[in-house]
Chain A
Amino acid sequence: MNIINPNRREILRIGALGVGGLTLARTLELLETAPLLSNKKPATRAILIWLDGGASHIDTFDPKPNAPEEIRGNWKSIPTPLPNIQFGEGLSRLAAELPNFALIRSINSDAGEHEIARHLMLTGYPLTPALEYPSFGSAASVFGQYAAFPPYVAISQIPEHAKQLGSGFLPAENAPFLIDSNPSRPEYGVRDLFAPAGLDAARVDRRKALLDELDTFAKKYETNAAVRARTAAFERAWRLIASKEARDAFDLTKEDSKLRARYGDHALGQSCILARRLAEAGARFITIMDSGWDHHGRVHEELSRHRLPKLDEAVSTLFDDLRKRGLWDDTLIIIMGDFGRTPKLNNANGRDHWPRANCCILAGGAVKGGTIVGATDERAEQVVERPVSPADLAATIYTILGIDPDAELRTPDGRPVKLVNNGTAVKEVLA
């Protein structure tokens, strides 16, 4: 965005704070027509758990117990409550939850490199040098008013991977509020959320009052884009600071320690409980980047020792917790990663990148639990039933959130860009 020379579109965009890319009228129109789901209310918030690096589909949610050993390895499958549906060993709690979520086993693309795959899966658009597309969270934050709480929060300890969680061509106000600190560490904290030692809250209040008095420049030039952007950022910060509840949402020490332990004493578990706190406080899209899924070597050891027990305990506890707190019905939970992995084990007993087959879990009250969409062949190599593209998945996510996938965003140079191009929502998963 050209901060000095906003064209009228941008003015409208800024005028309706938090309504990036769209004129106010158009957004209202979209919100009016929003309920696309026939019988249930759409989800009002989403928690996306990103398995960074790409989880092995054949070892987790699409096992092939009858495949030859060069494919299967020594990995076992376990039953689920659904007939003929099995999961990989180590996912017993998630297997028991299957009646409560939908599983797509037929995501496929041709993006076999991490950065390209991240962009494709997290925006629904292929990576092109010509235009950076907004992530789901940024695009979704266009459709709603800005309340006291940041609408879009990303929890990621890999800042370089967080690029694909950004606002793309949308204004910076649609970018996520980034938490780059690991919530399972004792030193965890959100930078600058609380006053440093020696600066008490009363003094910060006095400063705010003094600033209001002295900043006559901001009042005189309130229509200037640079001034307005600064004022808006400060207003958001003051609102967040003013609400103890909002700030406490980031503070995990306020949480019951037994419940924290049930989520698991690791980055993913504590990120999930943090996400639930943020959801309660008013965040509308929360993305968790869980690193360490790129298993080119010793895939089964890595999964059984590290990744799967953590995933199983964190996510099943999250589901349970959301239900107990009455958040389940209007929350959408998405679990996915870059791509699947080569069904044939490599020389290092690992698996390489395999974009032709990938899985995704969708959960929450707006999703029809126990739905299995699509299938791969007996070697988990090719999708043989109901292929779902990343764009189809994007359309599904927006649809569940009550956002029309055909809605148009505008680039700074005025180009209309559809939220989703060439994708159709997977209707089977809708409750």
Chain B
Amino acid sequence: MRVRAVLFMIMTASLLLAERADSRKDKFNDPAPDFTLRILPIISRVGCNSGQCHGAAGGQGGFGLSLRGYDAAADYDTIVHERGGRRVDVANPENSLILRKPSKQLAHRGGLKLPEDGAFFAEVKKWIENGARPGSRAAPVELLASPAERLGAAGEKYKLSVNVTLADGAKLDVTDTVLFSSNDESIARVDKEGNVEITGSGETAILIKYLNLVTAARVGAKFGCDISNYIFRGNGPGGFAAEMIHKLEPMSLAPAPTLDDEDRGIFYRRVYLDITGTLPDVEDARLYLKHPNPDKYKFFEEIVTSKETITRWTRWLADLLRVREETMGVDGARRAQEYLRSQLEARRPLDEIIREAITAKGEPWAKGPAALALATDGPAAQMEFVTKTFMGARMQCAQCHQHPFDRWSREDYFGLAAFFARVRRDNGKIILSDSGDFTDPKTGKPARPRFPADPGSQNAAYPEIPAGVDRREIFCDWLFDIQDRRFDRVIVNRIWKELYGVGIVDPVDDFRAGNPPSNPKLLDALVQSFREVNRDIFKFIFSLELYNRTAVDPKPGAERDFRYYSHAYIRPLSGPILLDAVAKACGYSLKIGDRGNVRSAQEIPDEDGGNVSLRALGRCPRDGSVDPSIVAPPSLTTALHWIHGPFAKEMIDAPGGRVEKIVISKMSADDAIDELFLATLTRFPTDAERAKARGALGADMTNESVGDLLWALMATSEFVTNH
């Protein structure tokens, strides 16, 4: 059937050539539209190959195209040759289904896409009249939007224009066939033609798609702060202040004041919770708050190297590396956790720890890193896990089609998965095979290990891997050292999010042109510093020095800044940190796990170890379904747990706990109130609060009245957030 169609096409094409011989001059001036550069983008622009229509995996009504036109050769074949050539009728262009259906001359469930009197209809028709030839121009390699960046004011309107550069250097204006979309319509809207309207303060990207190319035009609007009285020199608050602050002036953001001596309690609690994942001891807090001249530097140094800090960041790594009993077994998960802890204690560089996790082999129950290889199973799942977590690349989409928002192709997907193709499980042991491949189901061929091309180039590489060498090692060489410092950027950004609540790139697992960093200079400086301290996480955190000395309250006009760190953000504490904080405030000794031998929610070698409080508070599901950087929002179940769960009775009433000790000690009501405020909110009460607390305690302090006050303080928003 196909041969017949082609023959027919050649015949009609020659007829057409003969017929139009005299108009050759015109044709020379106005060449037939190119299938790849013109027709396919038109098809994309009007939406025929969207995911809801013919671009769906199974097509629509027996007509399936590549999603948004990433595969021009296959689409050409489908359009011109399938269905016995009925879609395109070169002899009788008006009869072509590809014209009659979308113009609704024939019934079309997808609606009117190509009105008969429109320019696109005419162009497609012209392409058919000219023989419906495949694309013949050089391949498109890069999209350029103009203006590539614009910082204006809300209400401003302008138009984007887009050029594509071809492999032979030619440039074409493709504005009328690209697809525009805004990442955040609360900042800027864009219509189909590329008309942008700025709608609010902040920065976002207009995503532009053309065939398999994606680019982003940045657009933003200043905030409304009065900045005439500020000097943006960043000579104030310690590490990276200059980089943080340089972004504020162009955005018209006034920085919140730095915390002064009066606010030392805010600083103390914030830093303590962020770095150590625990609340400070009451006596330590009291000393610090009352000290005439506390040494912040020394305090910071002490807590950065404390045991609690190791525990808190071990948990962070265990979340990232998905340590859990379901996949690793009870012993394996425990080994993995112990291993991560020992590595952090030894101050090993993060890239070495993570390389060892990615390339693990051996007996999981006996050796820590081997268990880490059990987090995911199979080349595809392993590759997706590693690239998402440590490259910030969401590859899943590319398994079936060109990634709709990013530059990854199917070749990239299978090429990267191929690095993990030879990992085997043998009686629970992780071994490497020296043969076996990952097969691309579309081609039926084994995928070769391949490094994706850099943005804007076509330099994808197939490394030579000698026999006996673990392919995963070669992948790690590329990930850690070669690939645009991508690992460093991703991991530094993840650490930053733990400390500031929002990543410089956010979501932290989505690094791509359409989701640029809010402050590239800051990210670059952090990466530089991270490498200078040899990727030692604690030295790195220490280099952020007094990192967070900004007040929570924004300056007028900066209220809607959630990206530029003009003020400190209020953020929810994660489930494990919260459970440990409640236990410490109550003076209660947690016993978690079958043997009750885990004493801190942050030491559980599993997502929850069966603990009902963690399930109610929300914990990181270590199965990859939610990125570990995301704190589960409180639900009805969470709130009921606060009101009626163990926090309400069992932990508050614990024998030998804080409430009992306070009552037995016969301390004064004011002392008790001080202690309860220090134990929960790490500060002394205001006069108004003291009065209310006195009223609650009554004349005679009882376990009940003290317990009620402790409960109320723990249930406040101030307790359950860091700020």
Contact residues of A with B, CB < 8 Å? 1-9, 128-130, 132, 150, 163, 171-173, 175, 177-178, 191-199, 203-204, 206-207, 210-211, 213-218, 221, 223-224, 226-227, 229-231, 233-234, 236-238, 240-241, 413-414, 418, 421-422
Given contacts A171-B633, A214-B713, contact A204 B643 (CB under 8 A): yes
Given contacts A230-B720, A418-B52, contact A8 B186 (CB under 8 A): yes
Given contacts A4-B501, A4-B502, A5-B506, contact A130 B396 (CB under 8 A): yes
Cα separation A193 to B616 with both chains bound (whole Å): 13
Cβ contact of B641, chosen from A7, A192, A224, cutoff 8 A: A192
Residues of chain A contacted by B498 (CB below 8 angstroms): none
User: A233 touching B634 by the CB < 8 A rule?
Assistant: yes
User: A229 touching B645 by the CB < 8 A rule?
Assistant: no
Query: 6 extra interchain contacts, Cβ-Cβ under 8 A, other than A178-B637, A217-B718?
Result: A8-B200, A198-B653, A216-B689, A229-B634, A237-B636, A237-B639
User: A193 touching B644 by the CB < 8 A rule?
Assistant: yes
User: B711 touching A207 by the CB < 8 A rule?
Assistant: yes
Given contacts A5-B502, A132-B625, A229-B634, contact A196 B717 (CB under 8 A): no
Check if B195 is an interface residue, CB within 8 A of chain A. Answer: no
Cα separation A216 to B562 with both chains bound (whole Å): 23
Cα separation A217 to B572 with both chains bound (whole Å): 13
- Between-chain CB contacts (< 8 Å), 7 pairs: A191-B616, A192-B616, A207-B715, A214-B692, A217-B716, A233-B635, A234-B634
Residues of chain A contacted by B638 (CB below 8 angstroms): 233
Given contacts A206-B708, A214-B716, contact A199 B396 (CB under 8 A): no
Within 8 A of A (CB), among B693-723: 693, 696, 704, 708-709, 711-713, 715-718, 720-721
Within 8 A of A (CB), among B636-655: 636-645, 648-650, 653
Residues of chain B contacted by A7 (CB below 8 angstroms): 184-187
User: A198 touching B649 by the CB < 8 A rule?
Assistant: yes
User: A172 touching B708 by the CB < 8 A rule?
Assistant: no
Closest to A190 in B: B640
Cα separation A3 to B618 with both chains bound (whole Å): 14
Closest to A177 in B: B636
User: B570 touching A207 by the CB < 8 A rule?
Assistant: no
Cβ contact of A196, chosen from B60, B501, B625, B650, cutoff 8 A: B650
User: A215 touching B502 by the CB < 8 A rule?
Assistant: no
Given contacts A221-B570, A237-B640, contact A214 B184 (CB under 8 A): no
User: B644 touching A195 by the CB < 8 A rule?
Assistant: yes
Size category of the binding interface on chain B: 35 or more
Check if B386 is an interface residue, CB within 8 A of chain A. Answer: no
User: B506 touching A2 by the CB < 8 A rule?
Assistant: yes
CB distance from B153 to the nearest CB of A (A): 17
User: A207 touching B721 by the CB < 8 A rule?
Assistant: no
Closest to A1 in B: B633
Check if B507 is an interface residue, CB within 8 A of chain A. Answer: yes
Closest to A211 in B: B712
Cα separation A413 to B506 with both chains bound (whole Å): 11
Residues of chain A contacted by B182 (CB below 8 angstroms): 414
Residues of chain A contacted by B711 (CB below 8 angstroms): 207, 211
Residues of chain B contacted by A171 (CB below 8 angstroms): 633
User: B184 touching A241 by the CB < 8 A rule?
Assistant: no
Residues of chain B contacted by A198 (CB below 8 angstroms): 649, 653
Given contacts A233-B634, A233-B639, contact A414 B644 (CB under 8 A): no
Residues of chain A contacted by B399 (CB below 8 angstroms): 129
Residues of chain A contacted by B720 (CB below 8 angstroms): 230
User: A199 touching B721 by the CB < 8 A rule?
Assistant: no
Cα separation A227 to B719 with both chains bound (whole Å): 11
User: B718 touching A192 by the CB < 8 A rule?
Assistant: no
Residues of chain B contacted by A173 (CB below 8 angstroms): 633, 635
User: A3 touching B636 by the CB < 8 A rule?
Assistant: no
Closest to B632 in A: A172
User: B643 touching A241 by the CB < 8 A rule?
Assistant: yes
Given contacts A199-B649, A211-B712, A224-B570, contact A191 B633 (CB under 8 A): no
Given contacts A227-B570, A231-B717, contact A422 B633 (CB under 8 A): no
Please name the 10 residue pairs, one residue from A and one from B, whose CB atoms are nearest each other, closest first.
A8-B186, A237-B639, A5-B562, A217-B718, A129-B396, A192-B640, A233-B634, A218-B717, A210-B712, A192-B644
